[in-house]
Structure formats: C-alpha cells, structure tokens
Amino acid sequence: METKRNKMKMMTLDQMKDQHIGEIGTEERNKYEFDLRLDILGEMIKSVRKERHLTQEQLGELIGVQKSQISKLEKSAKNVTIETILKVFRALEANIKFSVEMNDSEFKVA
Amino acid sequence: METKRNKMKMMTLDQMKDQHIGEIGTEERNKYEFDLRLDILGEMIKSVRKERHLTQEQLGELIGVQKSQISKLEKSAKNVTIETILKVFRALEANIKFSVEMNDSEFKVA
DNA sequence: GAATAAGTTTCTATATATTGAAACATTTGA
DNA sequence: TCAAATGTTTCAATATATAGAAACTTATTC
C-alpha cells in the first residue's frame, strides 16, 4: 500500500487573487481588493474540498448539513460567521489563519 | 512637523497565542487551539485599536455604530460575520489576511 | 443521447447577529 | 479621592444567517 504523504500546503488569499486578477501592484488588483476579499473565502472552501476529493454532499455529511448549504457557502462566504468558516475548514482538515497587517499611508494625498 | 512612519507590522494569531498560552507544541497550546481561535479576533481588534490610539467610541464613529458594539466585538468575535470583521479592520486601516493550511495526518493512530 | 451525479437556486422557518439605549463597572487623570 | 473618561452588560427590536426541502441546472459517465 502506497503511503501518500502530502506536504504542508500553504495557500493564501493572495495566491488565489494572483490567479484571478493579477499580481500585487497592478491596477486591476487594487481595484477589486476589497470586494473580492468578501468572496474569496468561498472559493477557498471549494478549492480545499476538491483537493480532498469530496463532493459537496460528502462535506455536508461531515459537518451535518445538506449539500445545499455547502453550495451556498462556496458561492458566497462574505456574510458568514467566523464559527461557520472554522467549522467547515475543520471538517476539511485544514487550518485557516488570520493575520493582521497594519498599514500606515504616509502619503496622504488629499 | 515630525513625520511619523510606522513600519509594516505583521501580527498573527500565533504571536498572540504565544503570549497567552505558550509556544506551538506545548500541550497547553494544543488544548486550546480551537477555542481560542474563536476569541482571538476580538483581541486583535482591541490590540489594533489601541495601536491606533482610538477609543471604542471613536472606532464606533468611524464605522457608524455605538461604542457598545465595539465593546461586544472585542469581547467576543466568534460569532461575527466576515463582513463585519473586515469593516472593523478597514476602519482601523489594517489588512486582515486569511490563509489556509492543509494538514494531512500521516500518523492516524486509531 | 440518456441516466446519473453533482451543484445551484428558491422558498420558508427558525436561530442568531447586529444595533441602540441605558444602566452599570472599571480605568484614568488630576 | 473624585470626577470624567472609557469600557461592559442587559434588554428589546430589527436584520440577517442558517437550515431543509425541493425544483432546477449543469456536469459526468456510459
């Protein structure tokens, strides 16, 4: 029996944004920075679920909800509670991390 | 007028956990890993707010809510929507990042 | 092409997040 | 020590998240 060992995979929002829009600094990227942040969590859920080779229904069973809830989460996770997010990622055996970055705009062009 | 330029400060959940419980690997840390994750966002809000030298009332004004809402958020952000979290951190001029870490337990001790 | 699997949307019901206001508690500054 | 500033808690009201079920749509398989 082949032991399949997946290395730790760190996938960030930024990586997914790179795929979808462009790299940091591009105008396209800045334009959608905030709005996409609201949607990207759902895509992260979907991405990890597929990585785990699970259907929405299977993931739903892991959590104890119907597949329609998974579908809704994946389509838009912007108005979802932290607890729900954590519940999903825990079922997917993935850790989600929050990190805060303080940014001061020295250039206050008014 | 002195130009005050703060460098980028990256503060993660893990850093805050180190302060509160202990470093990664300690039994204490693992024991509370999940529960604390639900509470730590509130403390991050508070921490950043103080970093900005704002009262809860002032932060509330920035967002358009009363100070009591800020107090409640800081006390417990575990059942808060992503959108609310983002709204707060945006008012604090801080970026919050979500990163997902896939972890496979090769050692399935059953 | 047909059947099945998988995912999405809509509707309704229930649970819960968000909010203001006010009372209360703690902290701070002089 | 005291008053003001700041933060917390409670209550009630409103908005919204969560959920199931079913119909619908899309993707996949043979």
Mean pLDDT (whole number) for B46-69: 95
User: Residues 66-95, chain A: which have Cβ under 7 A from strand D?
Assistant: 66, 68-69, 72, 79-81, 83-84
Q: Is A24 on the interface with B (CB under 8 A)?
A: no
pLDDT tens, residue by residue, A35-94: 556 678 899 999 999 999 999 999 999 999 999 999 999 998 888 999 999 999 999 999
CA–C1' span, A65 to D19, in Å? 8
Q: Which nucleotides of C are covered by protein (CB under 7 A)?
A: 5-10, 16-23
| pLDDT at residue A31 is higher than 50 | no
User: In B1-110, where do the E strands start and end?
Assistant: 9-12, 94-102
Region B1-16: mean pLDDT is: 47
Domain boundaries, chain A: 13-91
Distance measured from the CA of protein residue A71 to the C1' of nucleotide D21, in angstroms: 15
Identify how many contiguous H helices and E strands chain B contains and give both numbers.
6, 2
Does residue B52 surpass a pLDDT of 60? Answer: yes
ipTM exceeding 0.90, yes/no: no
Confidence of residue B110 (pLDDT cuts 50, 70, 90): very low
CA dihedral B37, B87, B69, B35 (to 10 degrees): -10
**Domain B13-91 carries which CATH code?**
1.10.260.40
pLDDT score for A95: 85
Give the helix, strand, coil percentages of chain A, each rounded to 5. Answer: 55, 15, 35
Flag if B98 and A38 touch (Cβ within 8 Å): no
B5 pLDDT band, cuts 50/70/90, is very low
Q: What is the mean pLDDT of residues A23-33?
A: 48
Look up the protein residue whose alpha carbon has the minimum distance to the C1' of D7. Answer: B71
Q: What confidence category does residue A104 fall into, taking pLDDT thresholds of 50, 70 and 90?
A: low
Interface of B with A in 41-80 (CB under 8 A): 41, 44, 48, 51, 77-80
Mean pLDDT is lowest, of B43-47, B55-59, B66-70, for B43-47
How sure is the predictor about B38, in pLDDT bands with cuts at 50, 70 and 90? low
Contact A33, B96 (CB under 8 A): no
**Smallest Cβ distance to B83: which of A48, A78, A94?**
A78
**DSSP helix/strand/coil, B54:** coil
Q: Which pLDDT value is given to residue B104? A: 63
Nucleotides of strand D within 7 Å of the protein's CB atoms: 5-10, 16-23
Which positions in chain B touch A94 (Cβ < 8 Å)? Answer: 100-103
Average pLDDT for A15-25: 53
Which residue is nearest to the C1' sugar atom of C7, using CA?
Answer: A71
pLDDT value at residue A27: 45
